[in-house]
């Protein structure tokens, strides 16, 4: 039911934006992309292993308002330290699974080179409980494009995630650019779900997980292949930022959502802008 409500809201937004564009000079803009990668990593958590993931996405914007759709298809499901749901694994292990669809609604306000954004994300996941977040971000349109974002889970996994990112693109040949980026995340769990593994009890009864969390370094290219169409090969290196993020206790992850490893991701996106 919740997923249906979000889809109805997104469709209503797109319809209003399309009608509005007829009567105003502002136009609806957006993008559609299709990505393929050797892993799916989310905030440092490994959500696929030993398979290829396919990730289609569509986003549409009008006068600062945006609606987005993103999805993940795991072509060969395997358990990871963060994917442990037995019902999901029993039903899908070794098979293809369309296991996540995210819907995003947001608004961005620009003041010269400064941008403020806020919005809502619905995570429709099969390998974990579906949940919702609200978020806010601030960024500067200068070299390295510093952006700080704060996400707050308001449903199943009460907690706050803060991410600082930097990015920069360098022209290398004609319209081809070399794209670089780094990011660092901090996580503070608030709900009972985030209690950590305690040696004395052999269970998740310890203090709530609160730590410097994930780091990521990426590099790639944007290569125009046709009008408004580009090919973007990219490589990412993910790593834990603290001992708590990678910690295990008697073979169990200290973090109830799974420990973080040093992980390499490679793949590419094909992006159509309009």
The pLDDT tens digits of the residues spanning 36-83 come to 999 999 999 999 999 999 999 999 999 999 999 999 999 999 999 999
pLDDT at 261: 97
Is residue 8 very low, low, confident or very high in pLDDT (cuts 50, 70, 90)?
A: very low
Q: Which residues of 175-198 are buried (b: 16+ CB within 10 A; e: fewer)?
A: eebebebbbebbbebeeebbbbbb
- The pLDDT, as a whole number, for residue 122 is 98
Q: Which residues make beta-bridge pairs with 94?
A: none
Residue 23 — pLDDT band, cuts 50, 70, 90? Answer: very low
* Domain boundaries of the chain, sorted by first residue: 2-23+32-273
- Give me the DSSP letters along 172-226: EETTEEEEEEEEEEEEEE-SGGGEEEETTTTEEEEEEPEEEEEEEEEEEEEEEEE
CB 108 within 8 A of CB 59: no
Sorting pLDDT into bands at 50, 70 and 90, what band is 26?
confident
pLDDT at 10 over 70: no
How many CB atoms are located within 10 Å of the residue 47 CB?
22
**Confidence at residue 106, expressed as pLDDT on a 0 to 100 scale:** 98
Tracing tokens 């994917």 back to the chain, one arrives at 83
* 61 SS3 class: strand
- pLDDT tens readout for residues 169-215: 999 999 999 999 999 999 999 999 999 999 999 999 999 999 999 99
Percent of the chain residues past pLDDT 90, beyond the cut? 90
φ, ψ at 192 (rounded to 5°): -65, -20
Quote the pLDDT of residue 3: 54
Q: DSSP E strands: which ranges in the chain? A: 29-37, 41-42, 45-46, 53-62, 65-74, 97-111, 114-125, 131-140, 147-153, 159-173, 176-189, 195-198, 203-208, 210-226, 229-240, 248-249, 252-253, 263-273
Share of the chain above pLDDT 70, in %: 91
For residue 192, what are its two tokens?
């009972």
Q: How far is CA 187 from CA 126, 128, 134, in A?
A: 23, 18, 15
At residue 15, the pLDDT reads 47
pLDDT band at 19 (very low <50, low <70, confident <90, very high): very low
b/e map 200-225, b = 16+ CB within 10 Å: eeeebebebbbbebbbbebebbbbee
Query: Over the chain, what is the mean pLDDT?
Result: 93
pLDDT band at 21 (very low <50, low <70, confident <90, very high): very low
**Average confidence (pLDDT) over 133-141:** 98
CATH code given to domain 2-23+32-273: 2.40.160.40
């Amino acid at each position: 039911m919740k997923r249906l409500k979000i889809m109805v809201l997104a469709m209503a937004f797109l319809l209003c934006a399309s009608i509005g564009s007829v009567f105003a000079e502002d136009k609806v803009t957006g993008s559609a992309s299709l990505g393929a990668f050797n892993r799916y990593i989310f905030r440092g958590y490994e959500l696929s292993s030993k398979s290829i993931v396919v990730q289609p996405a569509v986003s549409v914007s009008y006068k600062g308002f945006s609606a987005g759709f993103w999805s993940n298809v795991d072509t060969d499901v395997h358990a990871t330290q963060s994917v442990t749901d037995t019902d999901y694994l029993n039903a899908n292990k070794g098979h293809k699974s369309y296991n996540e669809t995210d819907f995003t609604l947001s608004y961005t306000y620009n003041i010269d080179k400064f941008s403020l954004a806020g919005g809502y994300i619905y995570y429709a996941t099969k390998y974990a409980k579906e949940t919702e977040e609200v978020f806010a971000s601030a960024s500067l349109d200068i070299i390295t494009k510093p952006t700080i974002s704060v996400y707050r889970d308001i449903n199943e996994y009460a907690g706050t995630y803060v991410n600082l990112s930097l990015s920069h693109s360098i022209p290398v040949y004609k319209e081809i650019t070399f794209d670089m980026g780094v990011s660092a995340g901090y996580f503070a769990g608030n709900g009972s779900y985030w209690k950590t593994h305690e040696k004395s009890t052999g269970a998740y009864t310890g203090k709530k997980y609160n730590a410097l969390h994930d780091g990521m370094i990426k590099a790639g290219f944007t290569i125009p292949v046709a009008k408004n169409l580009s090919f973007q090969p990219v490589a990412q290196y993910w790593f834990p930022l603290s001992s708590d993020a990678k910690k295990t206790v008697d073979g169990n992850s200290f973090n109830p959502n799974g420990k973080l490893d040093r992980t390499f991701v490679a793949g590419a996106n094909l992006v159509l802008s309009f």
